[in-house]
Amino acid sequence: MGGDISPAFRSFRYGDGFFETIRWTMGKPELGDLHFDRFFEAATEMEYEIPPGLDRQRLTVEMANLVKENNCDASARIRLTAWRGEGGLFDGDNTLHYCIDCSPLNDNQNSPGEKGWDVGIFRDAAKPANRFSRFKTNNYYPYYYAARSAMKKLWLDVIVLNFAGRVSDSCIANVFIVREGKIITPPLSEGPVAGVMRRHLLQHFDIIESPVTVEELETADEIFLSNSIRRIQWVRKLGDRIYTNNVSSQIYDRLLQTF
């Protein structure tokens, strides 16, 4: 823990904070270096003051202790949340405060499964593309309202668009399409979160970063999603179109060999 929580913290007043969602497997954070890279990059970019002694080694030890205390050693979902201290818009404490929580992973979160997800497109709010959009911030609009829309329509996830009307990402994942044998994902300039699993996939597979239109999404041969918890999840249906999972299943099988 990083201390007591106050209603005067700017995370609660203005959504000024960020977080990491990490998969704990085999006694360590999966892709931990990439998660900590993004965590400290966000802290630096957002001009937080990092307390002395707070580093990736200390955070890993605290995660391990919490996992053991919560009896979820085998496989766990960890959330590392950071926020700024008390203050207003123009002044206050810039010290980084944080907390760690964890819970066991369900069996259905350990693989993409045979059944793909039905997803939709959220059009009521756009995701901005700026210097902060690549981080997972506590200001979670429009994802929250996109998720509410998905729940009402019985979708398991929903695609979020940017201000240009192109694909940004989904509520909980980065988006990939397969067209004519090529794997494509929107570049960070289109506003998606710089997902850790996305970065890992780009490092190990032949993937093109290019803007994706809604038409390209709807007419793709395949769609799959990536995040740190599920790794890869293939999309079965978007609108009236049914998709295959030939490439995404191969990617998942090969992915397990890269950890």
Residue 12 pLDDT > 70: yes
What's residue 1's pLDDT? 42
Residue 218: both structure tokens together: 């709807």
Q: Report d(CA 19, CA 35) in Å as an integer.
A: 10
Q: CATH fold of 117-255, please?
A: D-amino Acid Aminotransferase; Chain A, domain 2 (3.20.10)
pLDDT band at 115 (very low <50, low <70, confident <90, very high): confident
Give the predicted TM-score (pTM) of the model: 0.94
Residue 223 structure tokens: 């769609």
Distance separating alpha carbons of residues 226 and 251, to the nearest angstrom: 11
Sign of CA pseudo-dihedral 125, 128, 134, 137: negative
For the chain, the average pLDDT equals: 93
Per residue in 133-147, pLDDT (tens digit) is 999 999 888 899 999
What residue segments make up the domains of the chain, in order of their start? 10-107, 117-255
How far is it, in rounded angstroms, from Cα 150 to Cα 246? Answer: 26
Q: What does the block give as tokens for 87?
A: 């203050």
251 and 224 Cβ atoms separated by less than 8 Å: yes
pLDDT tens per residue, range 41-68? 999 999 999 999 999 999 999 999 999 9
* pLDDT greater than 90 at residue 22: yes
Pairwise pLDDT comparison (59 vs 106), residue with the higher score: 59
Could you read off the pLDDT of 61-92 as tens digits, one per residue? Answer: 999 999 999 998 889 999 999 999 999 999 89
pLDDT digits (tens, 9 = 90+) for 163-190: 999 999 999 999 999 999 999 999 999 9
The H helix count followed by the E strand count for the chain is 7, 13
pLDDT beyond 60 at 111: no
pLDDT, residue 3, reads 56
The reply to whether 10-107 and 117-255 are identical in fold is no
**CB proximity list for 245: less than 8 A, separation 6 or greater:** 112, 116, 222, 224, 234, 236
Which CATH architecture group holds 10-107? 2-Layer Sandwich (3.30)
